Amino acid sequence: MIGILSKARQARVVEEFFELFKTPWEFYRPERTYDVIIATADTVPEVHPKLLVVYGPCTKDIDSRFGFEAGKRNQGAVLTTVDHILPVYGALLTFAAGTCGNEQEAIPNPGGVSALTPQGAVIRLGYDLFDEVELLLTSGQPIEYAHVPTLDLHIMLLRKWIVQAGVAFVEIPPNPANHSFVACLTHDIDFIGIRNHRFDHSMWGFVLRGTIGTLRRYFKGQLSFSNLVRSWMAVASLPLVYAGWIRDFWEPFQWYLAIENGLPATYFLIPIKGRPGERVPGAHPSRRAAAYDVHEHAGQVAALINRGCEVGLHGIDAWFRPDRGREERAAISDTTGSSIPGVRMHWLLHDESSPSVLEQAGFTYDSSAGYNETVGYRAGTSQVFRPPTCEKLLELPLHIQDGALFYSGRLDLSEDQAEQRCASMIAHAITLGGAVTVLWHDRSHAPERFWGGFYQDLIGRLRSSGCWFGSAGQVVAWFQKRRDVRFDACPAGVRLHYEGEPIAPALRIRVHSPRSTRSRAGGGNQSWGGFTDICWTGDRDQQVDTEVSSLMLCTQDNSAGACLV
């Protein structure tokens, strides 16, 4: 059990942090004994756990107690560890070099110091962990640090320090048993077909990009000669498309269904034709209006649902008006014949109040926390999380977007460069779990973009990585079930309790246990001891003994769907 000494105003953020770092904890009680204590409070009592981690940008009485010498106070900085950079967005107190032994090698420099005492390890960080978490889950990260999974790194560092301190503990990682991570394929449906666009800005933009734009990409080495020819032929064929004599090359549904081949993708549909919305930034807000009526495509929507896909709302004004959110949600529900649980805002419009507004409109999840300009981790995490202003609504972060990768006004990457960006995010998910959420727009497979081949390769990379594919709703539901698990202390270790439908795919219960090793002097010490995983579907309470010798190791039998002991 971890004891938390936080500021009173941080209670809600602390609770959310430990839904992401899913491990037993409680707010500090003086009568209890803890192996680990984490403190952001201004005053830290005389405690002697195996590991004491103290955060805060102001000097504290504990600094003189352990000889920590404070340096300058800054507003924001980028700290470094052996393997990572760690952006700090709030106030930061730096420290002079302290005693930093091998057991604490991952302490960020120069914002952290450590000391070893007869009772255990003390780590002092010059930033406030829970203030950083709150900022990440509300305002999010600036574009220049989009590539850094900052919140996940805070969790990783804390986990590493606990293990290195020789503390055995249980956690539920954010990836299912027998899967490396979670993948979610999504599509924002902005156009459906070019037939809806005659002599408007979308058509003329296509003509310009399909001719001059493709020439530029060809000479930059970003487009093959064959696709250059295909694009010019598509522009020339527009009269035939409008006449209905040849197929509309912007039609998305059949192409995606064939390429994804049974994977449960989510399609976000615009509810109302011709409505650009209010409070739209930019020089041409009218261009946000869609030219299709969702009711005219009820047959295609039904085909998506019959193939195991999910349909959500691509919202217009739902991000700031609950009444509009309910109206827009009803328009999609009328077409699907069922309730719509999720939303992603058109153009990703949002502000800090948007999550609570969407919750008032009746949505279960939102997937607007991402960037238009780049790819990465807006909230600093690959996990589904609950925004601090919400009671129930969960946020499924958006990580990879086609337009951000390839548009000339955004990253403007070659396919090799884009592959490296995506591979980095997949590697992070393999290491630390979470979800990789991908957005490929409706017309991105077609002329003039030709981003379909890259998308096919990306799906292939995801398939080969051993991930679990789920629709947005399925992914959010899995993370919700993980959140619903509760830990109870028991004499032998920890009891896990869950009430609800069976969890599929099963959760991964991970037990970290240190092992005794021999030092060169012949004495005993504790070192990284690895972990043992148990798969659990929540069908009954699970008791976990933190002594590794008495663990039951389960693996999932995919054919029978049972745990084998």
DSSP reduced 3-state for 284? coil
Give the end of a domain, one of 105, 140, 171: 171
Classify residue 210: in a domain, yes or no: yes
Of 132, 185, 137, the closest CA to residue 157 belongs to 132
Are 399 and 444 in a shared domain?
yes
How far is residue 321 CA from its own chain's centroid?
A: 25
**Would residue 177 count as lying in a domain?**
no
Distance, in Å, from the CA atom of 72 to the CA atom of 55, rounded to the nearest integer, reads 16
Whole-number Å distance between alpha carbons of 442 and 292: 13
CA distance 206 to 213: 9
50 and 145 both lie in a single domain? yes
Residue 312 parent element (H or E): strand 310-315
Check whether residue 229 and residue 255 sit in a common domain. Answer: no
Domain boundary, last residue among 477, 502, 532: 477
Last residue of a domain, one of 206, 226, 249: 249
How confident is the prediction along the chain (565 residues), in pLDDT tens digits per residue? Answer: 899 999 999 999 999 999 999 999 999 999 999 999 999 999 999 999 999 999 999 999 889 888 899 889 999 899 998 889 999 999 999 988 654 433 455 788 888 888 888 888 999 999 999 999 999 999 999 999 999 999 999 999 999 999 999 999 999 999 999 999 999 999 999 999 999 999 999 999 999 999 999 999 999 888 999 999 999 999 999 999 999 999 999 999 999 999 999 999 999 999 999 999 999 998 889 999 999 999 999 999 999 999 999 999 999 999 999 999 999 999 999 999 999 999 999 999 999 999 999 999 999 999 999 999 999 999 999 999 999 999 999 999 999 999 999 998 899 999 999 999 999 999 999 999 999 999 999 999 999 999 999 999 999 999 999 999 999 999 999 999 999 999 988 776 788 999 999 999 999 999 998 754 333 333 333 344 588 999 999 988 777 776 543 333 332 332 223 232 2
Is 203 a member of any domain? yes
Tokens 């996940």 label which residue?
152
What does residue 356 show for φ and ψ, rounded to 5 degrees? -70, -35
Residues 200 and 149 reside in one and the same domain = no
367 burial via Cβ count (<10 Å: 0-12, 13-18, 19+): buried
* Residue 97: per-residue pLDDT: 64
Q: Are residues 345 and 205 in the same domain?
A: no
Give the pLDDT of residue 458: 98
Residue 559 belongs to what domain range?
485-564
C-alpha R_g of the chain: 26
Could you tell me if 99 and 29 lie in one domain?
yes
User: Comparing C-alpha atoms, which of 402, 404, 407, 454 is closest to residue 186?
Assistant: 402
Q: How many domains does the chain have?
A: 4
Judge if 150 and 227 occupy the same domain.
no
Q: Does the residue 88 lie in any domain? A: yes
Prediction pTM value: 0.92
User: What does the H/E/C string look like for 357-410?
Assistant: HHHHCCCCEECCCCCCCCCCCCCCCCCCECCCCCCCCEECCCCEEHHHHHCCCC
What's the pLDDT score for residue 523?
A: 34
Q: Identify which of 377, 378, 376 has the alpha carbon closest to the alpha carbon of residue 354.
A: 378
Digit-coded pLDDT (tens) for 477-534: 999 999 999 998 877 678 899 999 999 999 999 999 875 433 333 333 334 458 899 9
Per the CB < 8 A criterion, the answer to whether 253 and 304 are in contact is: yes
List, in sequence order, every beta strand (DSSP E) within 96-192. 112-116, 121-125, 169-171, 182-189
Proportion of the chain in helix, strand, coil states, percent, rounded to 5? 35, 25, 45
In a domain? residue 509: yes
Please name every residue paired with 73 in a beta bridge, in sequence order, or none if there are none.
93
Task: Indicate whether 489 belongs to any domain.
Answer: yes
Report which DSSP code applies to 213: I
- Do residues 167 and 187 both lie within one domain? no
Q: Does one domain contain both 93 and 217?
A: no
List, in order, residues 6 or more apart from 8 with CB less than 8 Å away. none
CATH code, domain with 351 = 3.20.20.370
CATH of the domain at 94: 3.40.50
Structural domain includes residue 176: no
Please report the pLDDT score of residue 105 as a whole number: 57
Q: Which two tokens stand for residue 181?
A: 């991570």
Q: In terms of domains, do 343 and 465 share one?
A: yes
Residue 169 DSSP class: E
Is the same domain home to 317 and 457? yes
Alpha-helix residue ranges (DSSP H) falling in 80-224: 129-138, 150-164, 201-208, 214-219
| 392: in domain | yes
| Other beta carbons within 10 Å of 103 | 20
Same domain assignment for residues 157 and 216: no
